[in-house]
Structure 1
Amino acid sequence: MEGRRISASPSPNSRPWPCNGRRRVLANKKRPRPHSHLNTFNKLLRREISSKHSFCISNSQEKFRNMRLLEEYDSHDPKGHSPLALPFLMKRTKIIEIVAARDIVFALAHSGVCTAFNREINRRICSVNVSPDEVIRSLFYNKNNDSLITVSVYASDNFSTLKCRSTKIEYIRRGKPDAGFPLFESECLKWPGFVEFDDVNGKVLTYSAQDSIYKVFDLKNYSMLYSISDKHVHEIKISPGIMLLIFNRASGHIPLKILSIEDGTVLKTFKHLLHRNKKVDFIEQFNEKLLVKQENENLQILDVRNFELMEVSRTEFLTPSAFIFLYENQLFLTFRNRTVAVWNFRGELVTSFEDHLLWHPDCNTNNIYITSDQDLIISYCKAESDDRWMEGNAGSINISNILTGKCLAKINASNVNPKHESLQMRSTVSETLEDITALFYDEERNEIYTGNRQGSLLQALAPMQSFISLSEVVR
């Protein structure tokens, strides 16, 4: 689960990646599974067979063994555009975001065109864009009501105002993307306004820069819960159950407030001392821990319950370019110079990953997937051969254990089954691992989807022929 913040921008090609380019929040909020008695039996059986840790490792290794290419979809459809469509919408561009909702998978291209495919019958359904001048900036699948939320800008508005729309997946399945309805029409989301979808708390945060008002909505029914009107608020960070309000910096400190995410009640008000004349690299709130880092200074970790302060040397903790926070494990991942590291909230380095050099230097989280159990990270990485990093365009998809850093499986040109049953495939196995720009893993179906610079969406399936799961044993 994650929070996604999308900012308005006067340029349609200016695309900050979700979470405002800095953070991603994950919390384990699995939906209840049917047949709970079978789940209990499975747990007992798993405990008798082996330890949970060793079983998870072997399970993960088997899951990604014998991967085979299943389908190749093309998101580019020059004939399907309206004659009134913007010229750049008709160009072939890279896939920047993949979202799956049951039997429907969505591919968002950099141009702003979003295409829906039905993976049950292996065919393109429709373009989700409902207007010839619409540029879709981001997607969000709302599990609460089985709908797709699109966040768009329009040429008629000089691409300066965000517009949100909710469309039932069933309507899209029928090829009727225009059957949705607009959201947050009362809000003026012009630059530098934004909208943030918080799946962890089931909330939506909007910011209207025109009147400096933040509003919190219920993600289930989109009703407004409360608003925050304060021109001195510089930033808001959302964590499970709470919001951190960061106010404009004073001379030697920064004022902070912690609010309840449910009703906006102020839970704590305090100030944090800062080094004068040093810029703030980041301020983050995670449960009771406040992380503060200033330029060329140590990382400070403050417990807001008792105000105990610990520091981590600036030589040990270098300012990362992005975070992913794992609340279930009370850990966080940092990304810096194509490498990933795992830290705890005592400022200790927990894991350094082996054989996990990220392909893209910008740490785009659309190329990284964290499983719902928060035990695996799946990334598009540089391919390794004979202890040397291979040159060229082909990389590998690496699956690593977050707690140990071990590489459990790797999908590359040498271990993907080149045989396929579909007539949709046009690329070779090696070509499918070139220039991957987006990655998504469907945990229920055990399928990996990748998008590339050519606008193709590829589906890889692990047949699990040599692996029998515990649930199958029970049946």
Structure 2
Amino acid sequence: MEVGRRISASPRPCSGRRVVAKKRRGGSDGFVNSVKKLQRREISSKRDRAFGMSNSQERFRNMHLVEQYDTHDPKGHSSAILPFLMKRTKVIEIVSARDIVFALAHSGVCAAFSREKNERICFMNVSPDEVIRSLFYNKNNDSLITVSVYASDNFSSLKCRSTRIEWVDRTEYIRRGQPEAGFSLFESESLKWPGFVEFDDVNGKVLTYSAQDSIYKVFDLKNYTMLYSISDKHVQEIKISPGIMLLIYNRLSSHVPLKILSIEDGTVLKDFNHLLHRNKKVDFIEQFNEKLLVKQENENLQILDVRNAELMEVSRTDFITPSAFIFLYENQLFLTFRNRLVSVWNFRGELVTAFEDHLLWHPDCNTNNIYITSDQDLIISYCKADSDDHWSEGNAGSIHVSNILTGKCLAKINPSNGGPKVDDTEGNTGSSRKLSNSSLVRSTVAEALEDVTALFYDEDRNEIYTGNRHGLVHVWSN
């Protein structure tokens, strides 16, 4: 998922995000912002790669619908709650940590569910006027960070709160349904629009921006200690990569000033200008380790090696400006998203993979409907059904599991194969058969696959969680 994740203080819910896939550095990881629980399995031209693909197919072959949770419960809220929080709305984000599934609805209500007990534990909203905008699982201290706005503040400022999941002083805050036992973060910061907070799980840092005084601050994600600040009104944007930050300054007529800083202490590592074509807007500037990607309107893609100033260009007809990127740091590749299609590129500007049978359902590249496994070998997406499939009519899509290096579709979950398993031990037949492990399921498989608005894969439990426009969360497992 994850991952630099930026939440802005815009009055509207944040739709823009930067997702970076990473690999676990040891220990027990939670999700990486969208958030990736990790298994160690390199992808390369190793002799066991065929076994890895076969193993992936087996993991997903028998996935079926096993449970259903509901984020909507008007009876579970105080009568003083904001009226729009009482409405049933779509799930926009799902996070899993340990055996707890967190689902955030568009209304701003966030519910926590126990997979062990198959029940809702609590709502994470601790104030009647709180609207939760985003979630982040901090594996460094096993806590969930919620980013919220409040009616009492006219929804103008972001407020962050950290709540422990596991035992602290003999108390399990979330497991015991006590989200109010969390504590506030970054209280000294004014995060009004266009201020933001960005959680960077790759480097273990938090970046905040206070718009009123034009100050960026970097905090340690382990203990939330402030490390250093950057005060410069000419900085237009900051992009984060492993170990470094790219400062993009206000453009001048023929070039854009750039600085590369150490993410650890803010030391300037490189200060340089990048030449631009005059009178042409910049489509994007992205930093990937030592590679700088620059694309201007109707111009070739430029790939600059900032170490030796070597410049490579990719024809604008071969590389069309995408709507989003996902960088695969372990594999030195990146994904591009455009018009429901996903492509894999290397940093020589070569197309590595074009996926088979992988037309995304949402045209706006909703990254909440995409999961990259921690080994960066698989992409799990909510896709449109094949036109050849007999069940493709209607609004049901399918969940596709594809190999990133080959583009091959390894598995699908659709209405024809994602149905609950049945228990015939009592000799029942037909519609009277008892559904095993599905006491909470009320939706049909086709209904569960209609208009999926959020998707998450728990790699430790080997379960896929999907949320839909009705505020329901469905669990797919084998």
Q: Report the counterpart of residue 153 of structure 2 in structure 1.
A: 157
Preserved contact between residue 111 and residue 135 of structure 1 (Cα < 8 Å): yes
Q: Report the counterpart of residue 312 of structure 2 in structure 1.
A: 310
Deviation digits for residues 331-380 of structure 1, max 9, x if unmatched?
Answer: 00000000000000110000000000000011011100000000000000
Q: Report the counterpart of residue 13 of structure 2 in structure 1.
A: 15
Q: Report the Cα distance in structure 2 between the residues aligned to 1:149 and 1:161, rounded to whole angstroms.
A: 16
Q: Report the Cα distance in structure 1 between the residues aligned to 2:63 and 2:10, rounded to whole angstroms.
A: 40
1:64 aligns to what SS in structure 2? Answer: helix
Preserved contact between residue 29 and residue 200 of structure 1 (Cα < 8 Å): no
Q: Report the counterpart of residue 33 of structure 2 in structure 1.
A: none
Q: Report the counterpart of residue 404 of structure 2 in structure 1.
A: 402
Q: Report the counterpart of residue 469 of structure 1 in structure 2.
A: none
Q: Report the counterpart of residue 23 of structure 2 in structure 1.
A: 28
Matched, 1:424 2:440: yes
Preserved contact between residue 14 and residue 133 of structure 2 (Cα < 8 Å): no
2:174 aligns to what SS in structure 1? Answer: helix
Q: Work out the number of aligned pairs and report it.
A: 443
C-alpha displacement of 1:389: 9.8
C-alpha displacement of 1:330: 0.2
Preserved contact between residue 113 and residue 135 of structure 1 (Cα < 8 Å): yes
Q: Report the Cα distance in structure 2 between the residues aligned to 1:365 and 1:385, rounded to whole angstroms.
A: 24
Preserved contact between residue 64 and residue 413 of structure 2 (Cα < 8 Å): no
- Pairing partner for 2:214 from 212, 218, 223: 212
C-alpha displacement of 1:423: 1.6
Deviation digits for residues 96-152 of structure 1, max 9, x if unmatched?
Answer: 000001011100000000000111000001100000110000000000000000000
Q: Report the counterpart of residue 357 of structure 1 in structure 2.
A: 359
C-alpha displacement of 1:447: 0.5
* More displaced 10-residue stretch of structure 1: 53-62 or 387-396: 387-396
Structure 2 unaligned blocks of 5 or more: 30-39, 166-171, 422-434
TM-score, length basis structure 2: 0.91
Q: Report the Cα distance in structure 2 between the residues aligned to 1:252 and 1:388, rounded to whole angstroms.
A: 56
Q: Report the counterpart of residue 287 of structure 1 in structure 2.
A: 289
Q: Report the counterpart of residue 164 of structure 2 in structure 1.
A: 168
C-alpha displacement of 1:7: 0.1
Q: Report the Cα distance in structure 2 between the residues aligned to 1:67 and 1:244, rounded to whole angstroms.
A: 42
RMSD: 1.6
Q: Report the counterpart of residue 448 of structure 1 in structure 2.
A: 464
C-alpha displacement of 1:66: 1.3
Preserved contact between residue 381 and residue 401 of structure 2 (Cα < 8 Å): yes
Preserved contact between residue 149 and residue 165 of structure 1 (Cα < 8 Å): yes
- Pairing partner for 2:246 from 240, 244, 247: 244
Q: 1:30 to 1:122 in 2, by over 3 A?
A: farther
| Greater helix share, structure number | 1
C-alpha displacement of 1:32: 3.7
Deviation digits for residues 425-457 of structure 1, max 9, x if unmatched?
Answer: 101111111111000001111101000000001
- Pairing partner for 1:201 from 200, 203, 206: 203
Q: 1:200 to 1:346 in 2, by over 3 A?
A: same
User: Counterparts of 1:296-335 in structure 2 under 5 Å?
Assistant: 296-335=298-337
Q: Percent identity?
A: 80
C-alpha displacement of 1:31: 2.7
Q: Report the counterpart of residue 123 of structure 1 in structure 2.
A: 119
Preserved contact between residue 418 and residue 428 of structure 1 (Cα < 8 Å): no
Structure 1 unaligned blocks of 5 or more: 35-41, 44-49, 463-475
Q: 1:182 to 1:211 in 2, by over 3 A?
A: same
1:178 aligns to what SS in structure 2? Answer: helix
1:79 aligns to what SS in structure 2? Answer: helix
Preserved contact between residue 333 and residue 342 of structure 1 (Cα < 8 Å): yes
